[in-house]
Amino acid sequence: MRVLLTGSSGWLGRTLGPALRAAGHAVTGLDVVPSPETAVVGSVADRALVRQVLGDHAIEAVIHSAALHKPDIERFDRQAFVDVNVTGTLNLLEEAVAQGVGRFVFTSTTSLMICERIRAGAAGGARAAEWLTEDSPVQPRNIYGITKLAAEQLCRLVHREHGLPVVVLRTSRFFPEADDMAHAIVQSDENTKANELLFRRLTVEDAARAHLLALERAPDLGFDLFIVSAPPPFSRSDAEALIADAPDVVARCFPGYPELYARRGWTMFDSIDRVYDPSRAAARLGFVCRTGFAQVLEALAAETSGQLTASL
């Protein structure tokens, strides 16, 4: 397929572009930042440019992953978030319909599911971890989440009114940099990321694979929205114990983990305040991450963790 990939110079785009080409697609990258993955330098907020790119390249499918996201909150005002994340998405959806594009994949975020109360976790008095599914009520806490939610709703609206097949992927975190120090193991970024694979992270390679599958399945699905995250080993009945004593719950799931962690000087978070449940993506999209906590433990046991977790 001839695919327009927005955000092609970004962290996800730089993995997704080559993955799309390896799967046989012809990819046109669009980004405000130049890179070898980006054929067209410009903004999704520029309607005329979007129209021209779709037409000039006879685009058959759009993967829209360009966005201002959480780290950009420091540098851009709310209007810029609305322009890029809301207007940009509307431009792509409406021009896709006008030009007969057959399918659309939108990269959203599990971050929009986190309100201040969930974020406060045990420190804020939570007695159980939040179990988050696609049906959980959402009340985004910042302009990033608010504009991503609005963009999701535009996807839903344009599908309903025009029939454009759209798959929305609410991905959990796959960024490489450290963040959210309240939850971090200060001594080791690898340790933090390994812990997060239990409940709120996936690798960028898995995020790219989810987009490829969504692209393939969009016409069968019509409209659908999925959480994509590494499979958590927990069940809902663990929610209270996860807040009270996460290491104990993890040890019940993976009896070998304390020794493997101790050998490397790693530690587990004391408390886990949320679990993103990707089971709908497994059941309906047929997508399950290849890398989860179990694979990290296998790598630790084989002492090849440097190699495995390099992509975390």
Query: Where do contacts with ligand NAD occur on this chain (CB under 6 A)?
Result: 6-7, 9-13, 30-33, 43-45, 65-69, 84, 88, 107, 109, 171, 173-175
Indicate the residue whose CB is closest to ligand NAD.
Answer: 10
The distance of closest approach from Cβ of residue 43 to ligand NAD in the complex, given in angstroms and rounded to an integer, is 4
CB under 8 Å to 274, separation ≥6 — which residues?
Answer: 114, 118, 121, 129, 130, 131, 132, 199, 200
Nearer to ligand NAD, 80 or 297 (CB): 80
Q: Least separation, in Å, of the C-beta of 221 and ligand NAD?
A: 20
Q: Which one, 38 or 239, has the nearer CB to ligand NAD?
A: 38
Min separation Cβ 262 and ligand NAD, Å: 29
Nearer to ligand NAD by Cβ, of 37 and 238: the residue is 37
Nearer to ligand NAD, 203 or 261 (CB): 203
- Closer residue to ligand NAD, CB minimum distance, 30 or 246: 30
**Quick one: how far is CA 56 from the chain centroid?**
30
Question: 63 near 3, Cβ under 8 Å?
Answer: yes
84/93 with CB nearer ligand NAD: 84
Collapse the DSSP code of 4 into the 3-class scheme (helix H, G, I; strand E, B; otherwise coil) and give the result: strand
Distance from the Cα of residue 19 to its chain's centroid:
16
Shortest spacing between CB 59 and ligand NAD, in angstroms: 15
CA angle 146, 152, 154 (to 5 degrees): 105
Q: How far is it, in rounded angstroms, from Cα 95 to Cα 89? A: 10
Strand, helix or coil at 19?
Answer: helix
For residue 275, the cross-strand partners are 131
User: Min. distance of Cβ 302 from ligand NAD in angstroms?
Assistant: 27
Contacts of 144 (CB under 8 A, 6+ apart): 68, 69, 70, 72, 73, 81, 85, 109, 111, 112
Q: Which of 10, 231 has the CB closer to ligand NAD?
A: 10
**Nearest-approach distance from CB 173 to ligand NAD, in angstroms:** 4
Other CB atoms within a 10 A radius of the CB of residue 283 amount to 10
The distance of closest approach from Cβ of residue 274 to ligand NAD in the complex, given in angstroms and rounded to an integer, is 14
